Structure 1
Amino acid sequence: MLRHSHRFAADSVIGQWAGAVNAGQSQAVADLWATTGRWQPGSTASVTRLQPGTSADAALSELARAGWRDWHQALQGVCASGQCSDAQALQLLQSFGQFQLLCALHDGPWGVLALNGLLARALGLALQGWYAGRPVMVTRNDYNLDLMNGDVGLCLPTAGGLRVAFAQTAQDGAASVRWLLPSRLDAVQTVFAMTVHKAQGSEFEHVALVLPDKITPVLTRELLYTGITRAKMQLTLVVPQAGVLRQAVAQKTLRSGGLGSLSLPQTPSDASHGGSC
């Protein structure tokens, strides 16, 4: 059994989902799914569902525009002025972190790589290189720059050109911004979407948890639980095929440990589908 999350009350709807998944209660999960309303713009329910069908494009584009609406509006204002202040950078970093897409997989049509491109297009941003509004996650520790694996920054316009803003906290708790040249960052990746594995230890006001349309060995109840419990206030389950959710609840790791070291039994159907966390 996994540890209890204190982000939400156990008797909240998110708490009910987390408890049922953690206990491997397939029928309870099926009952919760049946009573979960569909996501639509302006939804205020704590748990909603989105079933994109065969294509993620339209459904996830609409979800992303709604989830990052305030951030995107503020970003457009900064881009129009051509110069971002420290206070604006802190606000943009905080606003961006209110919503996050979490994927079970890195590759494939429902994975991080594909969805990062889709979401950048949905927000009217560039697809390659450095551009204003690009969110990046550090992928390995850089002690020279005092950056740790998992730190998130935003590329923003300044008087000196594009710079990447990272929030930092002083010993007295005061927040400030560090600005770095993009050329100094050689171990970062775009992070409109991230894997559940990368999100361990993080929390977001609204999480959209994206499952693939086929079961894979890494899609286990432990991964589902971790994804669900990243949400503080709202959870949107993006599930192309409801049967995959039921299969994932029944699929458990063979040994304890982080999501990066899963060891799973494979059925013949599992072996035919790839994917990694």
Structure 2
Amino acid sequence: MATYFDPKSWSLAGAVDMGKRLLDPSWIDQWLGFTTSWADPVADLGSGTVTALMPDVLMTVLSEGILSRFGGQEIKATLLGHDLTATLDTFKLRRRGAHFQSKTVLSNLIWDSHAFDTVTVVAHGVRLIPGVPTKIRVQQLDIEGTIGIGALTAWVDAQNLDWRVRLDERGQIVATHRTRKMRAVVDGQVYDNLLTIDIRKASWYGIRLPRRVVAAPALLLDDLPNRADISYAHRRGDVVKFRLELPATTGSFDLTQIRDAIIAGTTLIVF
């Protein structure tokens, strides 16, 4: 049944009364409580509430809170002492037996000033250990992504190695020895931690050298930070595709800080 507005029945007093009801502070408080209700369990847990399902509740609350607040937007975080900024494209969480598994997809990632185009992180065997602070343990991290060849070359050159590395105008990787006046156009790839370098051409004081006399030996990368393993890293056009595997790791976080960071959109901290 349709209802029509009758100008004769309208009164200023009635309009003011309706405005008061709409702006009633208790109504506003109820609305704010509803829109941030996902954060309430985190506040309870942070104050010491303990339930049998706490890990499930906490993981669900955190994942839904982070995704709803930062999904499709820029996220800032400090992860085990490293600063990162990225766009959060995907954040999924599911239970796998006694533990959890998470999948995070980031784009335009800046990790300690290093730029990555895309990074996908799958965390296996995730466990939460209640306490102050709350601990998080991961059995294994699988990391896949792409990085621009220019960004990677700049990072290698900044390591102060014996060779300076840059890209020429054709996009080729050019390595120049700092003291021996040798210059080479190279390419490289890593499979199962074994780095092989392909020397396309080389010269010494401008004299072209036969490739057979400048062959580079394969190098086993067996002392990587955080005991990481490189499954592969190879160039495809202007980007390098890679996959890393990291063994078990442990971190901690403060529930109150995480909750406040999600609500305010500030930096998430895991230490």
Q: TM-score, normalised by structure 2?
A: 0.25
Structure with greater Cα Rg? 2
Q: Which has the higher helix share?
A: 1
**Which structure's relative contact order is higher, taking Cα pairs within 8 Å and 6+ residues apart?**
1
